Structure 1
Amino acid sequence: MGPLVICLIVCGCIAAACWLLSVLTHEHSWVDRIWSIAPVAYVWIFAASTGLADARLVLMAVLVTLWGARLTFNFARKGGYAPGGEDYRWGYLRDRMPRWAFPLFNVFFIAAYQNALILLICLPALTVVEAAPSPLGLADVLVALLFLALLVGETIADEQQWRFHQAKAARAATGGASEPRFLTTGLFRYSRHPNFFFEQAQWWAFYLFAVTATGAWLHPTVAGAVLLTALFIGSTWMTEKISRERYPEYAEYQKTTSAIVPLPPRAAAVRVTN
């Protein structure tokens, strides 16, 4: 079997397992739990299909492994793998959908579509497999450095968010002040969701390896990055809706700070009173 067929089989098995586990446990974050793991497996499958002889594919697999290790660590320390570690947004949707609709949403979107998307974002590796073999060049080095820079950016954003919520929890435990109620400093001064920006950008950078391997800018495998961006648009909208409901003053933060792409604040300073 070719590497794409193997990946499709693995993807189908993972999707079925995620659905079955969600039914058995009544938690719907099983896809979230494998989001940082499955891409590592997929890209190494593509790299292994060449006997690890293609340096570009090995480089891509190593970079995705670093991405996966970092994201898995961050997800684990937030309790994502613990029982009851369901993403709050699934509960928010479940409470607002007709009772009959959410099981269908779980099958077709949470389990099936998201697992398909996880495979799609890895398919630039398929383009490299199918391209005429060529040695690594300066363009590959630049793309790898870009990917690593974006990885560092997401690491910083997640660390800032982690420390903020740890401090917030510590204040609450001792009866201290609840403010600030959400993060508006560090990278969050320039973007309301810098971690979202860096996550998406890494997969656009990953696609660039298909460009360096072929010399052509457009390939069908760009669909993964496009659909991931579309998913983040919807996720951002929902996250912000929930934030506005919890914190009415969040609307002021929205007025001064870019939603995704880090940009200079639109006010002289962002007040940390939210």
Structure 2
Amino acid sequence: MTAINPLLVSILIFAFVAVLSWAVTARRGSSAWLDRLWSILPIIYGWVFAAAAGLADPRLNMLAILVTAWGVRLTFNYARKGGYKRGAEDYRWGTVRNRLNRTQWFFFHALFISVYQQALLLLLVLPAWTAYEHRAPLGWSDWLFAAVFLLLLVGEGTADGQQWRFQQRKKDAVAAGQPLADGFISTGLFRLSRHPNLFCEIMMWWVFYVLGAIAVGEPFSWTILGTVLLTAQSIGSTVMAESISGAKYPGYAAYRARTSRLLPWPPRAR
């Protein structure tokens, strides 16, 4: 009996979802579906690779479990913010749409949102393909990196919780006619980093890559591409987010001057 090729299956899933994402976005004019699938598709890909090994490979099972934990946390946070409500959309997509003309937006959402972003989700999980191709038993370093992954997951959840509670206080203050002095959070983990949740997110995928690379016994593999692209995209997204915050909040420039962008670090003296 011919074994199912998990990479081929994953590529077929990617192609189907990319076409569906483009069709839905073109029809409704909203890019919300990409955000709604972001935390779900990597889980599917992870278990495709684990299932292709009959759920008998400890490394593939570990990778699938870790990416599931990542996806469950992200799905919860996205749902908490109302991401699954009708008409919900990441504010950054609206900002990009307003900066482009109709033709530019058509190609942007067709190529970047529907194709590239979906491809990135698959690329991120491809260290599991490395692990599938090079079966190797788990060692102490694997368990150490898995523990680091979970620690980063807790860190991201903590930062998201702090941000959520701040936004709720901000909403209540505005409703009471007493807006907060600063419209952005600068306490807790955000005292050490302007984007602590994003730092944890990036580092989790680097750990995920390492867990796949360990199976080969070499530090570099072509499956590093997804992690590199996510890192570059995440850093780039902070530029847009901070330009919006800087334009809205007069105190943001001082916060940016004293606080590290990503790496948690004690704030600089004023």
Shorter-chain TM-score bucket reads: over 0.9
Unaligned runs of 5+ in 2: none
Match of 1:145 among 139, 147, 153: 147
Match of 2:239 among 237, 240, 265: 237
Tell me if the contact between 2:49 and 2:129 (Cα under 8 Å) persists in the aligned partners. yes
Structure 1 runs, 4 residues or longer, greater than 3 Å off: none
Calculate the TM-score normalised by the size of structure 2.
Answer: 0.97
Tell me if the contact between 2:182 and 2:251 (Cα under 8 Å) persists in the aligned partners. no
SS state at 2:178 partner: coil
Q: CA deviation at 1:178?
A: 2.8
Q: CA deviation at 1:41?
A: 0.3
Q: CA deviation at 1:249?
A: 2.0
Q: Does 1:60 align with 2:52?
A: no
Calculate the TM-score normalised by the size of structure 1.
Answer: 0.95
Q: Does 1:74 align with 2:72?
A: no
SS state at 2:21 partner: helix
Task: Give the length in aligned residue pairs.
Answer: 267
Task: Report the equivalent of 1:209.
Answer: 211
Instruction: For 1:42, give the aligned amino acid.
Output: Y
Task: Report the equivalent of 1:251.
Answer: 253
Identity %: 50
Task: Report the equivalent of 2:28.
Answer: 25
In the aligned structure 2, how far is the partner of 1:247 from the partner of 1:93?
20
Q: CA deviation at 1:15?
A: 1.0
Task: Report the equivalent of 1:271.
Answer: none
Q: Does 1:122 align with 2:134?
A: no
Q: CA deviation at 1:44?
A: 0.4
Task: Report the equivalent of 2:175.
Answer: 173
Q: CA deviation at 1:247?
A: 1.2
In the aligned structure 1, how far is the partner of 2:13 from the partner of 2:144?
32
SS state at 2:194 partner: coil
Q: Does 1:16 align with 2:23?
A: no
Out of 144-153 and 134-143, give the one that drifted further: 134-143
Q: CA deviation at 1:182?
A: 0.5
Q: Does 1:40 align with 2:48?
A: no
In the aligned structure 1, how far is the partner of 2:128 from the partner of 2:24?
29
SS state at 2:102 partner: coil
SS state at 2:125 partner: coil
Q: Does 1:105 align with 2:108?
A: yes
Q: CA deviation at 1:135?
A: 1.8
In the aligned structure 1, how far is the partner of 2:250 from the partner of 2:86?
31
Unaligned runs of 5+ in 1: 269-274
